[in-house]
Amino acid sequence: MKIKFNWKILLSIILISVAFGYFLALSGDEIKKTDLYQEKGRNFASQNSALQTQNSKKLYEVLEVIDGDTFKIKYGEQKKSVRILGMNTPEKSGPYRKRECFGEEATKKAKEILSGKKVSLEFDSSQSKFDKFGRILAYVYVDGKIDFEEEMIKQGYAYEYTYHGHKYKKQKIYKETQKKAEKNKLGLWAENTCNGKK
């Protein structure tokens, strides 16, 4: 008895086998990607946790002052950028930004207060711990005591800054401090400097 060979059935079996193998390979890649993302998430969470538990007490050496509201600290063997919460200073001149009134003065003042000092950091649960550039977002205390933001706003080198309307813990204090600087026409509020304009 002769068995009739059916090429269509054979071809269908081969195609199904190839498709199934491809599906398994993709699934394996997705599992690897998921594992990788979970690992990154764990690392990021670990970094957040370490910062949250340590920074309220630990003092960090200031390595470099970038401008009035950004500086770098020694964090272990690394350099970490810190973007200060609750205040904003005018921009100094640079290749990617336009100089604003009192920007150079604000940077100079920040250097005067921070250079060669150690700082402690305090986080605010209403804000992220890192910004989109990966910089640490925190309140800054010079030698663990002096509120750097309040000092800069009080002397008229910075504005109170609320990010996208997100109310934060020290908002009221910094707003009131700014009102006093405005009233006394200090720093960037003086008529012979910026008169409160950037």
- Whether 34 and 61 share a structural domain: no
Distance CA 137, CA 23 (A): 44
Whether 86 and 163 share a structural domain: yes
Choice among 39, 42, 77, 91 that is catalytic: 91
Q: What's the CA gap between 69 and 163, in Å, rounded?
A: 14
Which one of 36, 54, 72 terminates a domain?
Answer: 54
Structural domain tally of the chain?
2
Catalytic entry in 61, 77, 83, 176 = 83
* Per-residue pLDDT tens over the stretch 27-65: 554 444 434 334 444 444 445 555 554 455 799 999 999
135 tagged catalytic = yes
Residue 189 reports pLDDT greater than 80: yes
Residue 91 falls in the annotated catalytic set: yes
pTM over 0.95, yes/no:
no
| Predicted local distance difference test score (pLDDT) of residue 161 | 97
Q: Three-class SS of residue 73?
A: strand
Lowest pLDDT segment from 45-59, 124-138, 144-158: 45-59
Domain around 165? 57-189
- Identified catalytic residue from 105, 135, 150, 160: 135
Alpha helices (runs of H) in the chain, residue ranges in sequence order: 7-54, 103-114, 148-154, 171-183
- CA–CA separation, 45 and 141 (whole Å): 24
In a domain, 15, yes or no: yes
Q: Which residue has the higher pLDDT, 46 or 89?
A: 89
